[in-house]
Amino acid sequence: MIFRKELPKARDWLLALLTLGLLAGCATTDTGPAPADSGEIVKSPNDKREYRHLVLDNGLRVVLISDLETDKSAASLSVFRGSFDDPEDRPGLAHFLEHMLFIGTEKYPETDGYFKFVQSHGGSSNAYTASEHTNYFFDIQPAFFRQGLDRFAQFFISPLFNKEYVEREKNAVHSEYQLQIKDDSWRGFAVQKVMFNPEHPMSKFNIGTLDTLSGDVHSSLLDFFEKQYSANQMGLVVLTNETLDEMEPWVTEMFAPIENRQLAPIERTAPLFTEGALPGTLRYQNLKANHELSFAFPIPSQLPYYRSKPANYIANLLGHEGEGSLHKALTEKGWITSLGAGDFNVDPNNSLMYINLELTEDGAGKTEEITRFVFDYLALLRASDVEAWRYEEQASVAEIGFRFAEKSQAMGVVSGMSPALQHYPAEDLLVAPYLMEEFDKELIASFIDVLTEDNAMVAIAGPGYDGSQTEKWFSVKYDVETGPVAVADIETAGLGLPEPNPFLPENLDLLEAGDGKPVVVVEKDAKAVYLDTDVEFGVPRAVVHVSVRNDGGLVGLQDSVNAALYSSLVQDSLNALAYPAYLAGVSYSLATPPKGFRLSVGGYADKQLVLLSDVLDRFVGLEIDPERFRVLKSEYVRNLRNSFKDRPYEQGMSRLRSQIINSSWTAEAQLEALEPLTLQQLIAWRKQVLAKNAVEALIVGNADEQRARALADLLEKHLNVAEVNVVGASNVEVDGVTEVNLEVEHNDAAMVLYVQAEEDGFVERARSGLLAHLIRPGYFATLRTDQQLGYVVAALPVVYQNRGGVGFVVQSPVAPPEVLKIRTLEFLATEVGRITDMGEEEFADNKQGLITRLTQKDTNLSGRALRYWADLDLGVMTFDSNMQIAAEVDKLSKADMLAELDSLIGKLEDEYVMIFSEGKFAEAAGG
């Protein structure tokens, strides 16, 4: 797989490097000099929004986005400073500052006022500290955007840094650190730092703890804010439903007071590795039973080459999964379960090209053989010609992707664009990720030439490794070996470069739009196909969902386990076939919901049915290779056992689901059903399940009735379509008190507390949903900000099938579960008075905030198709369940909510489910 901005599969340090920035500053970006601007922002022909770039008098770079049709306004401000800029004696200070900016300003001193305002008006807010920037962002109803943005702007103008909350919020940062301390991604990320140059900030700890933030951290915060937060080192993006001319004056006025301290971009002069550090091999310990092998090669920064993307050409070959690929060769050996490749920028001077592999149990003992395959494939690339047609294939797909770019949600747009202001000139902000316009054969070859054995940093991770050294912050056992990397002396036949891609889209014409909702096109003989010819988003794409329903469904334990394993076998067998389609913008998935298997295809409509035919053919007629059965069953077992090491609150939520839904099964139960399963039993089960099937299908997008009928014929060709007893999931009624104590190897305690609505349906979902909306901000502020009970604190609506409910989730390093429940009940008691005293206008605003969330417009085709499919599954043939729930919310009064709150409090005495783990407090209770 090629890694771009999607979440990688591999669970190793490079995964952490790419994905953990949302928690504590692990993303990697660069802060080169402010790019020069030479024109208007280039946008997709499919983009109806209007854009304007400004530089305010204080040096703040601003992008205004006008979207007159948006139902959410949003803003993001990125400060071009991050965890790399922590003082030497204050690791985690940038992250701590990010926390503190939310807790009161001179103009708006209420500690939880910002969150309450945003959430009550249908919005959400977040921030993250990356290595070289810190990004703050929120969205809200347009009618309240100016007020929300003024509160937001004050973060950067006049934060209070109240000493009392400085001392309290240190606990939240420490809780965040404790939350990750047994997570293998974070552990791997931490231990990898020992390989880097100690003089480079990449080697530094970056989350923060009570120790690193001890003493007079208040003075450190003030000093960091005053020395690092400057308007000329920030980028702001604002999107709302006003014209650009209307927006410009008031946005300018609001952000002009941010002080310009005339800071220069940070220059990173230290090399990423010290002399002699490469080649080098790191071996370290995982807590989960995962085996991983990673290769990283230092290369020059790729940012200067964003218009040509030479590294993309290389990553496309390294991460390919088709015939001749490294992935296919190692998968056929039974040594890996996934392979990913890509590049990322560390700082303005350095990038890394990487290859990540997840190993099977067999592969864990073959790391030297796998390394030989990797180095031989790199040698093959060096010996092969850099070919223009390969580059042009990628460039063509990228160009089509930009031409037909779909509208993204407001907050996603602004939060993605504001950090990009430090990388790119304004005109390229939108098009930069797609540009591949300058094929440079020599340049690409120069980067391939440095991917050698002598320039490799290799990391090998596995459970139980007892290294001679221990990493300081996460206590990871490890060893480092410098010098030549160990490789086996074996033949690596079968490696080759991919052939031209047969799935590149050819017909990109748009059809005439349909009536706006799915209509049944085929309905007979246990077969129904629904169609919505939808070209509202201006894209020649479609989404196809097909439910293959068997007698009795996949509700039972054995059926559920068998289906999951069979699904993985089918997908494994399709890798080489389907990967070129994925690269060309057409992809499939195979899921196992309770009613039966679900096949889905998305992307460019042109060749979807070609891919679906191949998938169906493999689905019904797979010749299961005994060795792949053994390997994938082993991986399934390993993943189930690994789930026992998930974070405590995650295990709690998973257990709650299995406690309530009759088709959801615990890992323990699945293991009991899976381990004795034989290949012959699975084949016999497959024959029974596919003996006859009812089918229900939905096509949404650039597809017409002819395509829908062709789909019906395709299903008829591959499946024995007949009436069956369709069975779906159902909920267990909560009757009395159920408390489940999970034994979790973690110091933190956790509580997942759930109260079920009285009955199924939209009326009850509206009641529990509005109550959760009303109490959510205060619950977070009280238990997390004021009481500092933990980093993970949430009150939320919980919907299983069509049954509403309210849930409370806390993971705490400082209090046992019984205390967490008591504090929850105490909070709810205070909410009675708060809601009683709430003015009608404030109550109406809260209702409208939830209604706005429920009725938010679809921004892309896949989201709309998923919403339609969910309604179809519920039998809501008007395809407007969210609108119906919103209408029920609109009817609710304050008296209704007080009654709902009273019922909730009452049920928390004698009719609830509580899943909990005691953590370190179990020893205290027992001793």
Helix (H) or strand (E) holding 441: helix 441-448
Query: With contact defined as beta carbons under 8 Å apart, do 421 and 265 qualify?
Result: no
Contact 478, 284 (CB under 8 A): yes
Closest among 562, 594, 573, 597 to 684, alpha carbons compared: 562
Report how far Cα 627 is from the mean position of its chain's Cα atoms. 32
Across 882-907, b (16+ Cβ under 10 Å) vs e yields bebbbebbeebebeebbebbebbeeb
Please give the DSSP secondary-structure letter assigned to residue 785: I
Residues facing 795 on adjacent strands: 808
Q: Report DSSP letters for 627-673, one per residue.
A: HHHHHHHHHHHHHHHHGGGS-HHHHHHHHHHHHHBTT---HHHHHHH
Structure tokens belonging to residue 794: 């949430």
Q: Tell which residue, 413, 371, 404, has the closest CA to residue 606.
A: 404
Q: How far is CA 867 from CA 694, 859, 872, in A?
A: 22, 12, 9
Going along 120-233, which residue ranges are E strands? 124-129, 134-140
Q: 3-state class of 532 per DSSP?
A: strand
Report the C-alpha gap between 683 and 155 in whole angstroms: 61
Q: How many CA atoms lie within 13 A of 884 on its CB side?
A: 13
> How many Cβ atoms from other residues are within 10 Å of residue 634's Cβ?
15
Comparing C-alpha atoms, which of 406, 407, 429, 426 is closest to residue 417? 429
* Pair 767, 892: CB distance under 8 Å: yes
C-alpha distances (whole Å) from 368 to each of 372, 494, 822 are: 6, 18, 55
Q: Determine the Cα–Cα distance for residues 498 and 631; give it in Å rounded to an integer.
A: 26
**Catalytic center residues:** 98
Contact (Cβ atoms closer than 8 angstroms) between residue 292 and residue 286? yes
Distance, in Å, from the CA atom of 326 to the CA atom of 378, rounded to the nearest integer, reads 10
Residues 524, 567: contact at Cβ < 8 Å?
no
Q: Please report which residue ranges of 263-407 form alpha helices under DSSP H.
A: 310-318, 326-332, 361-364, 367-383, 388-403
The helix/strand/coil state of 145 is helix
Query: Which residue(s) pair with 812 in the sheet?
Result: 749
Match 């799915």 to its residue by tokens. Answer: 518
E strands of 761-817, at which residues? 792-797, 803-812
